[in-house]
């Protein structure tokens, strides 16, 4: 099966449609599938629901799709660092389903494993638990969370071979593996594609069985929060 495509637009050809659910990897600006997000923007696909920890910043990551009003709903943990995200949510233009970060990661992983739901203590007694099934185990109350089954997964990795085996770079792994697992189709963008057999099997973070299409591209290295201190006087 051919998995390597020339660019993001080709890799997404035939996969996009209005109203779809997309799971996207990334945390802040780290490990964001920026090339695929730009291709989705260029395609003009709208009424999208994104399952992603956050939405990047105003002009990067999912933030570029918020600017063009292509996103209808976010399933996320964090809305900070993105003024447009907060503005649209507070004005009622954007639907938001809040998830604790661990719950969101497990919802993605569960979907990738074919698990329709699981019980967790996280969120019990808060607004997160409203409208959800409660069940007691050994005297403790848990709430039912549903697995995420996305129409499409888009992720960013460091290295891949042509069969789709992926290695992520340090903290850029973040939500990418569970996001990749839960989509019917997964498209990955990587910094380098190496020959088959070049990756140490013990170092592979995500097996190629989860990855259907791959592109290699140039990526921007951004700093989300630059922190400095004043120069000390001699």
DSSP string, 159-223: EEETT--EE--GGGGTTHHHHHHTEEEEEEEEEEEE-TT-S-GGG-SB-GGG--EEEE-------
Q: To which residue do tokens 């409203």 refer?
A: 130
Which one of 3.40.50.300, 1.20.140.10, 3.40.50.2300, 3.40.1080.10 gives the CATH number of domain 8-216?
3.40.1080.10
Tell me what pLDDT residue 232 has.
78
Let me know how long the chain is. 234
pLDDT tens-place values along the chain, 234 residues long: 799 999 999 999 999 999 999 999 999 899 999 999 999 999 999 999 999 999 988 889 999 999 999 999 999 998 877 889 989 999 999 999 999 999 999 999 999 999 999 999 999 999 999 999 999 999 999 999 999 999 999 999 999 999 999 999 999 999 999 999 999 999 999 999 999 999 999 999 999 999 999 999 998 877 777 788 888 776
Tell me what pLDDT residue 234 has.
63
Tell me what pLDDT residue 81 has.
79
For the entire predicted model, the pTM comes to: 0.94
Tell me what pLDDT residue 1 has.
78
């Amino acid at each position: 099966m051919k998995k390597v495509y020339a660019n993001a637009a080709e890799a997404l050809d035939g996969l996009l449609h209005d109203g779809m659910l997309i799971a996207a990897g990334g945390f802040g600006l780290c490990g964001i599938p920026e090339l695929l997000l730009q291709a989705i923007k260029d395609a003009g696909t709208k009424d999208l629901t994104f399952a992603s920890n956050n939405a990047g910043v105003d002009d990067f990551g999912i933030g570029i799709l918020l600017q063009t009003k292509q996103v209808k709903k976010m399933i996320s943990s964090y809305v900070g660092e993105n003024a447009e995200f907060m503005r649209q949510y507070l004005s009622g233009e954007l639907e938001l389903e809040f998830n604790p970060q661990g719950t969101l990661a497990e919802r993605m992983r569960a979907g990738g494993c074919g698990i329709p739901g699981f019980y967790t203590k996280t969120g019990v007694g808060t607004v997160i638990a409203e409208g959800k099934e409660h069940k007691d185990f050994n005297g403790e109350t848990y709430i039912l969370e549903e697995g995420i089954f996305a129409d499409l997964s888009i992720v960013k990795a460091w290295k891949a071979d042509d069969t789709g085996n992926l290695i992520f770079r340090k903290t850029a792994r973040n939500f990418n593996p569970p996001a990749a697992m839960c989509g019917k189709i997964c498209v990955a963008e990587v910094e380098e594609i190496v020959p088959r057999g070049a990756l140490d099997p013990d170092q592979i973070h995500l097996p190629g069985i989860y990855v259907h299409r791959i592109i290699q591209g140039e990526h921007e290295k951004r700093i989300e929060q630059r922190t400095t201190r004043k120069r000390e006087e001699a």
